Amino acid sequence: MARRLLVMAASAAVLAAPSVLVAGSADAAPLPAAYTANASGDVLTVASTLATAPLAAVDLVHADAAAGSTTSPRTSATSANLGAQVGPVGAQLNSRTATAPPSSTNNGSIVQASLASAPATFGTGILSAVTSANWAGDLACVALGTPLSTATTSTTGASATLLGVPVLSTGDASTTATTSLIAQSATNDTRSVQSAATGNVAGLTLLGAISVSALQPTLTATASSGPAGSASLTGSAVTLTYPGGSQTLNLGDTSAAVSIPLVGTATVHVASNADVTANGGVFSTTFLTVDITLLAGAGTVSVGVLPLSVSATAPTGGVECTRAVIDIATPAEGSTTADSTPTISGTSNVPSGTVTITIGGETHTVTTDASGAWTFEWPTPLANGATTVNASVTNAAGNSATDSNTFTVAAPAPAIVITAPSTGSTVADTTPAVTGTSNVLSGSISLVIDGAAPVTVSTDATGAWTYTPTTPLVEGSHTVIATATTPAGTASDTTTFTVSIPPAITISTPADGSTTEDQTPEIAGSSSVVNGTITLVIDGGNPVSVPTDASGGWTYTPTVPLSNDVHVAEATATNASGATATDSVEFEVFAEGPLPEVAITTPADGSTTTDRTPDITGTSDQPNSVVLVSIDEGEPVDVDTDERGSWSLTPTSDLACGQHTVVAVTGNEFGLSGDEVEFTVSCPAAAPVPSGGGDSLAQTGSDIAPLGALGLVLLLLGLGLLRRFHLTRA
């Protein structure tokens, strides 16, 4: 069976993508618009059949460009040594690709294609790539003259052999694929979408003997709307030169056959518009097709130079690059909402721009995000009924767009409930949390406590709210009124509760068990009674009302000096419910002061008397007090002083004859004072001597108590008088 080799090449051909051409921008689609463009080309496509076995096909020197307003990436450009048909197993594919966004380039060399699948060999010379991809954003067009994507793949030559026969060879060759947005007119910025595939092949030789002139055709496809369209091919005639003659083929001419002795026959065809095929919106053709039949039935070869394909889609009227667009998404036209402060949102084709929103006479602005989207929560409650919202935006080109929606506000009648404190409850907190629910979602309600100024309290997405008084409430009854307001009216709820704090009080100074020299010491402490009064009692006396400050602190200074003594202070706090708390401290006052005065007036010191029971008299500066008197270190006797401080004592039994000592001691809160006299009792010689010394004393006008043999020292150290005046020193 004959073997057949197919080589498809396109020389100097251009295949242009479909373009959408319109009369003016009014019919064009503003950004973001949906459009696509794709272009691809190869220098050579080779396939062969030998005897009964077909050999693998191969595409050599490939370029591809793509663009899509919704694809990822948006644009791309690829140069490769091999195309879709990579040829024999083990072929090494190598490429360079640029993508956008962001815009990029990728230029440089590519690994040469060198493929062998006996008895066929295919190869290229040095390969280089120039690729770029550009994207200005979904809401902007690239500058005029800047392609969306373009890829050019060049080689210093390409060749194919079969059974040692030089089937094809070229000189410099390249293919370029480009996608673009091109201007429709000079008066507006409306663009068409275009893709193009071009090629250039020089020095093409077939069967080592047939020279083909340089090929420079152009294939252009145009779509007037969407993917539908038509394509046309233009180009120059092709001249074949071979031993013994030459001939020229125009586009679409009948194929010409050229025989090379001892090698084979080449049948050449130049494509025309009739050769452009459309399949699913993709236009394709191969500019130059050569069918070769080798002698002796060795096989057949088909050569295709520059196989090209393009496709493009665009909105009706094209793409309007500078037209501003805005759309109100919510509230939707004709919709009904129960939210009197609805969220107004939408889209635009102005990124990071300013949208102006107006309802009635109220206007607000909001910034769009990077995609042109925007959202705004209307701050002022809208009245129930039909409402129209207007939105406008202006782009950098100065073009403006507006949109409006009419919707209905049907807010429900307001509802509000105070959940805590409950009516009739008692709380032990001066700043109790007041909480409740409402049907005012993500808004606010009004709260009035005890008739004070209203407080605005925010509600959450469920209508719940909470408020904690910033100023502590006094103990007692309190009333809270909560009010909810919607376009449908107002509603209120009331609660009355009691603040009752368990009483507490502490005396901080003087410390319990302490001693002070201050006879009017400050008595202070703290309590739970805020801006009220506590009760203070000192030594069981009359209660004193002491005011408390905003923190419950209090202080009191006695108006009458306290005596040198141990004292007890007791403080009591009472709350609004009548409950009480008490604290007490015991402290001692020990102050320095003048000592008392006492004097023995009779008997005089050093005197002699014959009276065995002489009157012992004296004075002191302590009227209506007590003087302790001791004779000869005997047991002291209490002697009362009169209103002038005078005192008198008469022994109840005779004193012994001889010398005697009398000591008188008195005291006050600051200490003791005493006086001492010595006198002599003289007895006649014949007088009988009493059986005992003077050991009895008599107080004038009172019972006489016997004196013991205690010493004066004990008398001065205390002897009851000290305890009577509480003068023991620490």
What local confidence, expressed as pLDDT, does residue 704 receive?
Answer: 32
Residue 449 CB neighbour total at 10 angstroms? 18
Q: Is residue 9 part of a domain?
A: no
Q: Measured between alpha carbons, how far is 218 from 209 in angstroms, rounded to an integer? A: 27
Structural domain count, the chain: 5
Q: Is residue 543 part of a domain?
A: yes
Token pair 């408390």: residue: 548
- Nearest alpha carbon to residue 249 among 260, 240, 262, 258: 240
Tell me the average pLDDT across 233-239: 81
Q: Measured between alpha carbons, how far is 642 from 665 in angstroms, rounded to an integer? A: 16
Tell me: pLDDT of 99 over 80: yes
**Phi-psi region at 23: left, alpha or beta (left = phi > 0; alpha = psi -120 to 50):** alpha
542 or 120, which is more confident: 542
Q: Is residue 375 part of a domain?
A: yes
Q: Is residue 722 part of a domain?
A: yes
Strands 515-516 and 319-320, sheet pairing? unpaired
685-689 LR contacts (CB < 8 Å, sep 24+):
687/657, 689/656, 689/657
Q: How far is the CA of 406 from the CAs of 20, 89, 384, 577, in angstroms?
A: 36, 67, 13, 60
User: Of 545, 561, 589, which one is at a domain's C-terminal end?
Assistant: 589
The two three-digit tokens of residue 506, written as one number: 């502490």
Confidence category of residue 74, pLDDT binned at 50, 70, 90: very high
The DSSP annotation for 173-209 comes to: EEEEEEEEEEES-SSS-EEEEEEEEEEEE-SEEETTT
Q: Are residues 519 and 395 in the same domain?
A: no
What local confidence, expressed as pLDDT, does residue 2 receive?
Answer: 27
Which of 207-211, 487-491, 611-615 is predicted least confidently?
487-491
Task: Name the strands in the sheet holding 554-556, side by side, starting at the edge strand that comes first in the sequence.
Answer: 505-509, 523-527, 554-556
- Nearest alpha carbon to residue 133 among 220, 75, 199: 75
Q: Is residue 29 part of a domain?
A: no
Which of 187-191, 415-419, 424-428, 567-571 is predicted least confidently?
187-191
Q: Is residue 15 part of a domain?
A: no
Tell me: pLDDT of 466 over 50: yes
Q: Are residues 529 and 543 in the same domain?
A: yes
What local confidence, expressed as pLDDT, does residue 230 receive?
Answer: 62
Q: Are residues 304 and 350 in the same domain?
A: no
Number of DSSP helices (H) and strands (E) in the chain, helices first:
2, 61
pLDDT, one tens digit per residue, over 648-701 is 999 999 999 999 999 999 988 778 889 999 999 999 875 554 444 444 444 433
What is the identity of the amino acid at 445? I
Q: Measured between alpha carbons, how far is 286 from 303 in angstroms, rounded to an integer? A: 10
- The CATH number for 487's domain is 2.60.40.10
The two three-digit tokens of residue 133, written as one number: 């991809």
Q: Are residues 569 and 651 in the same domain?
A: no
Tell me: pLDDT of 165 over 90: no
Q: Is residue 12 part of a domain?
A: no
Q: Measured between alpha carbons, how far is 106 from 77 in angstroms, rounded to an integer? A: 9
Asked whether the CA dihedral 466, 468, 469, 474 is positive or negative, the reply is positive
720 or 156, which is more confident: 156
Q: Are residues 239 and 118 in the same domain?
A: yes
Contact 508, 526 (CB under 8 A): yes
What is the identity of the amino acid at 364? H
Tell me: pLDDT of 49 over 90: no
Q: Are residues 307 and 361 in the same domain?
A: no
Confidence category of residue 571, pLDDT binned at 50, 70, 90: very high
User: Of 354, 376, 409, which one is at a domain's C-terminal end?
Assistant: 409
**Phi-psi region at 700: left, alpha or beta (left = phi > 0; alpha = psi -120 to 50):** beta
pLDDT, one tens digit per residue, over 700-719 is 333 333 333 333 433 443 44
What local confidence, expressed as pLDDT, does residue 555 receive?
Answer: 97
Tell me: pLDDT of 728 over 70: no
Q: Are residues 574 and 618 in the same domain?
A: no
Q: Are residues 480 and 510 in the same domain?
A: no
Token pair 């036209």: residue: 333
Give every CB contact of residue 44 below 8 A, 6+ residues apart in sequence: 7, 8, 9, 58, 59, 60, 61, 158, 160, 168, 170, 303, 304, 305
Tell me: pLDDT of 173 over 90: yes
Q: Is residue 32 part of a domain?
A: no
Confidence category of residue 281, pLDDT binned at 50, 70, 90: confident
Q: Are residues 405 and 538 in the same domain?
A: no
Q: Are residues 510 and 457 in the same domain?
A: no
Task: Work out the angle at residue 559's Cα, subtended by the Cα atoms of residues 558 and 560, and round it to the nearest 5 degrees.
Answer: 90
Q: Measured between alpha carbons, how far is 449 from 467 in angstroms, rounded to an integer? A: 11
Tell me the average pLDDT across 356-373: 96
**Residue 723: in which H helix or E strand, if any?**
helix 721-725
pLDDT, one tens digit per residue, over 246-277 is 999 988 888 889 998 888 899 999 998 888 88
Q: Measured between alpha carbons, how far is 550 from 530 in angstroms, rounded to an integer? A: 5
Q: Residues in the chain, how many?
A: 730
Q: Are residues 162 and 190 in the same domain?
A: yes
pTM of this prediction exceeds 0.75: no
User: Mean pLDDT across the chain, nearest whole number?
Assistant: 85
3-state SS of 109-144 is EECCCEEEECCEEEEECCEEEEEEECCCCCCCCCCC
Q: How far is the CA of 570 from the CAs of 34, 164, 377, 576, 586, in angstroms?
A: 91, 128, 63, 20, 9
Task: Name the strands in the sheet holding 455-458, side by side, starting at the edge strand that comes first in the sequence.
Answer: 426-427, 489-499, 476-486, 444-449, 455-458
Domain extent, residue 607, equals 598-683+708-727
Q: Are residues 553 and 657 in the same domain?
A: no
- Nearest alpha carbon to residue 83 among 169, 199, 5, 193: 199
User: Of 259, 290, 313, which one is at a domain's C-terminal end?
Assistant: 313
